[in-house]
Structure 1
Amino acid sequence: MTTRARGYVTVTWPEANARRLARQHLSGPAPGLSPADAVGAMLGTHAQVLSAAELSVGLRGAGLTRTDVRTALWTDDAARRTLVKTFGPRGTVHLLPAADLPLWTGALSAVPTGPNPFPKDARMTPEQVEEVVAAIGAALTGAELTVDELSEEVVARTGPWAGDLVMPGFQAMWPRWRQVLHLAGHRGVLAYAPNRGRRATYTNPGYTPLPGPKAQAELVKRYLYAYGPATPAHFARWLAAPKRWAEGLFASLAGSGSGSDSGSGAIEEVAFEDAGPAWVVAGDTEFPDGPVRGVRLLPYFDAFAIASQPRERLFPGRAFERALAGGQAGNYPVLLVDGTVAGVWHQRRSGKRITVTVEPLESSEPLPAGRLRELEDEVERVGAIMEGRAELTVGAVSVGAHA
């Protein structure tokens, strides 16, 4: 149970982990939860592998399936299109609630950038960046274009320099303008449209970003509600933002910064086991008493596995080496046992048949009968969400980390 020491609330790792799981709807699927509500609870669903995103969403709501996610994302009925696929935290592809896109674009477009990672001869001037972003927004307004079609439009609206093949891509060189594709998403002028065959297309979703300071203050509070207690360093890592900037933002929201009082007192400090001083939303200091119980199978890049810190507590012992890729979470689907990573897994689909292989890491002994039944039930859930027939095999997973 949370206690007060030296004027602070003291939070243990089991308490923090239990609350995060509950708020992620991973302690049990929530009845009546919509895909947009599930994505909102996660603070975005990583969608580099769209089937993994569908499973992440489905695991959180009772009765949700991949069709529900696809309908929320791609339906022609605008009133039912409650999800958007675009560039989210860390500049990676995410599903975000359509209603929250002004918040996300306002916050992400105002995050300061670090050193330019591109070679000198590939870089763009600030003026060229603005020119390209404006060209992308104009070209995609009322249109759905493949990346090649968009490239033609951008070069025509800016100049040949934008089309110079100077960007290393997948076994090819990409045109210069592609380095700001994610920035156009963060500015709210680019999002994914339905595929044309196997080719991705983009459109201008037409959302106006909220003012940066207001949006970032709200994003911090939502982050702390979902993943707190957390430090500015945790937030910076999750967002791929400068640590010093995150420290200043937290200080301003706590009321100890200078130049801004819009969020003063919005967050409060707690003592967090192993992490030292950390932060929660002001007044949000109630944590569960009981331990976490149950078995869960989380897919590639699940938001809980990526955002939950300290990472070594979620991935203890062998899990830190086996279920992470160089310390990076998300590259392996993981088995959670009582809220802790205790294995990896993989699925292979052939038609309706889904073969699920689970590699527990707890010991070399067979799973106890009770755990095996829980795992069988979870595999059945995976099959229902992905609209197939799932079969369980307990054994070694030979598939390596996802790139």
Structure 2
Amino acid sequence: MGSPADSVSWDEASARRLERSALATPAATAGPAELVRALCGAHAQVLSAAELSVGIRSAVATRSDIRAALWEERSLVKTHGPRGTVHLLPTADLPMWIGALSTMPHPANPFPEHIRLTDEQTEQVVAAIGQVLAGAELTVDELTEALVEATGPWAGDLVMPAFQEMWPRWRQAVTLAAYRGVLCFGPSKGRKVTYTNPRRHLPSFEPVDGPLAQARLLERYLHAYGPATPQSYAKWLSAPRSWATELFGSLEGSGRIQRIGLDSTPAWVNAGDTGFSQAPPRGVRLLPYFDAYVVAGQPRERLYPGRAAERALTPSGQAGNYPVLLIDGVVSGVWHQRRSGKRLSITVEPLGELSTAHRAALDEQVERVAAVLEGRPELAIGTVTAGAHA
């Protein structure tokens, strides 16, 4: 790490982010929970993508190790995290996450009034969820039945349009219940998702006080992805910019964070965390859908330069919809994998010519991806025809 700096370049920031995300050099000894903590959560809407996100940051871990951490050791929990989306979080960090997420502002309920839960109904559902799941792992249907019995038939009304079907009214409260610390995911029953109460695996935990939890979460984020701005933090959390700006101002005023320049634009780091290496970012990585690094990475135009933005971002600029090829800290292509038994057919579409060194590093990365997913790889360089979320 170099000497303290009051302004850093994109390359310096990128190199430090790669190092702290275990993308510069995969960790030799860190376990799944430690790696997920470093990322500020691993996006797990598709669990296999989360397994790969964590596994490629380790020199040795496979998907079996991540599943063991989640379902056997319980050092990880699958729950709703930043932006209300499903994440893996370290179980030991739930008091901080719940303290922060339950007290920060969130977008208003988007449903029309005749579909919406009232405030009173919401509180009834959240309380009932905590009680019903205290000693059980229930499928959606089983939980619906239990909540209708506990609260009333209105909870089970099929009024929520979702994925070409209608969901029961109570499901509007799922994210809030997770943020209150009374709901998380349990192991699936066949193809059916289950929910349970995280207190079964972390008994008697108490959420960290809201303002303190919010400060700690921001410090975690800045350690991983700083220098960063209130705007990028608000986007990462799907929170109001005004709230994020006020939080940054409060922590700067108390001396917990400090302002420096990122390519001469004001940005923030944790107080005293101003050492940056002069070595340029290096490495070839295959990042899965919604990998934490690309979702949190800002400014987008530096992480997704030129054609990368056209190929790997949505029209609105959302990151993560496509798995990406990361070369020397910037998105340089997309990729896709199709599994058939143990065989993994991996297609990589670079956006430019691969150097000999980069091609050799890509071959090594493909082998590592296959090791994590416990398969046999077949690599093809060519056009990826699969669309987003394929």
Paired positions, count: 384
1:373 matches 2:360: yes
- Give the conservation status (yes or no) of the 8 Å contact 1:3–1:10: no
Measured in 2, the distance between the counterparts of 1:267 and 1:24 equals: 20
Residues 123 and 105 (structure 1 numbering): CA distance in 2 closer, same or farther, change over 3 Å? same
Equivalent position amino acid for 2:85 in 1: T
Q: CA deviation at 1:124?
A: 1.8
Q: CA deviation at 1:3?
A: 8.6
Give the 3-state SS of the residue equivalent to 2:114 in structure 1. Answer: helix
Give the counterpart of 2:290 among 301, 304, 309. 301
- Give the conservation status (yes or no) of the 8 Å contact 1:323–1:334: yes
Give the counterpart of 2:114 among 115, 121, 144. 121
Question: After the TM superposition, which residues 119-268 of structure 1 pair with which residues of structure 2 at under 5 Å, given as runs?
Answer: 119-206=112-199, 207-255=205-253, 264-268=254-258
Q: CA deviation at 1:402?
A: 1.3
- Give the conservation status (yes or no) of the 8 Å contact 1:192–1:203: yes
- Give the conservation status (yes or no) of the 8 Å contact 1:192–1:200: yes
Measured in 2, the distance between the counterparts of 1:40 and 1:3 equals: 26
Give the 3-state SS of the residue equivalent to 1:320 in structure 2. Answer: helix
Equivalent position amino acid for 1:103 in 2: M
Measured in 2, the distance between the counterparts of 1:217 and 1:353 equals: 45
The gaps in structure 2 that reach 5 residues or longer are 200-204
Per the alignment, residue 261 of structure 1 pairs with: none
CA deviation vs aligned residue, 1:294-322 (integer Å, no higher than 9, x gap): 21110111000100100110000000010
Per the alignment, residue 289 of structure 1 pairs with: 278
Per the alignment, residue 42 of structure 1 pairs with: 39
Per the alignment, residue 105 of structure 1 pairs with: 98
Q: CA deviation at 1:208?
A: 3.1
Q: CA deviation at 1:113?
A: 2.1
Q: CA deviation at 1:115?
A: 2.9
Give the 3-state SS of the residue equivalent to 2:274 in structure 1. Answer: coil
Q: CA deviation at 1:191?
A: 0.7
**What's the Cα RMSD here?**
1.5
Measured in 2, the distance between the counterparts of 1:285 and 1:388 equals: 41
Give the 3-state SS of the residue equivalent to 2:338 in structure 1. Answer: strand
Give the 3-state SS of the residue equivalent to 1:120 in structure 2. Answer: coil
Q: CA deviation at 1:155?
A: 1.5
Measured in 2, the distance between the counterparts of 1:309 and 1:369 equals: 29
1:329 matches 2:316: no
Measured in 1, the distance between the counterparts of 2:214 and 2:232 equals: 15
- Give the conservation status (yes or no) of the 8 Å contact 2:106–2:238: no
Per the alignment, residue 17 of structure 2 pairs with: 20
- Give the conservation status (yes or no) of the 8 Å contact 2:185–2:193: yes
Equivalent position amino acid for 2:21 in 1: Q
Per the normalisation by structure 2, the TM-score is: 0.96
Q: CA deviation at 1:114?
A: 2.6
Measured in 1, the distance between the counterparts of 2:320 and 2:303 equals: 12
- Give the conservation status (yes or no) of the 8 Å contact 1:188–1:208: no
Give the counterpart of 1:358 among 335, 343, 348. 348
- Give the conservation status (yes or no) of the 8 Å contact 2:53–2:291: yes
Equivalent position amino acid for 2:165 in 1: A
Measured in 2, the distance between the counterparts of 1:388 and 1:53 equals: 16
Q: CA deviation at 1:371?
A: 2.0
Equivalent position amino acid for 1:328 in 2: Q
Measured in 1, the distance between the counterparts of 2:162 and 2:207 equals: 29
- Give the conservation status (yes or no) of the 8 Å contact 2:52–2:373: yes
Q: Percent identity?
A: 63
Q: CA deviation at 1:373?
A: 1.4
Measured in 2, the distance between the counterparts of 1:174 and 1:51 equals: 25
Per the alignment, residue 329 of structure 2 pairs with: 339
Per the alignment, residue 69 of structure 2 pairs with: 72
The gaps in structure 1 that reach 5 residues or longer are 256-263
Higher relative contact order (CA 8 A, sep 6+): 2
Equivalent position amino acid for 1:335 in 2: L
- Give the conservation status (yes or no) of the 8 Å contact 1:72–1:81: yes
Give the counterpart of 1:56 among 50, 53, 56. 53
Equivalent position amino acid for 1:65 in 2: T
CA deviation vs aligned residue, 1:206-246 (integer Å, no higher than 9, x gap): 14322111111100000000000111111110001111011
Equivalent position amino acid for 1:132 in 2: V
Per the alignment, residue 399 of structure 1 pairs with: 386
- Give the conservation status (yes or no) of the 8 Å contact 2:15–2:282: no
CA deviation vs aligned residue, 1:87-121 (integer Å, no higher than 9, x gap): 11000000000110111111111111233311121
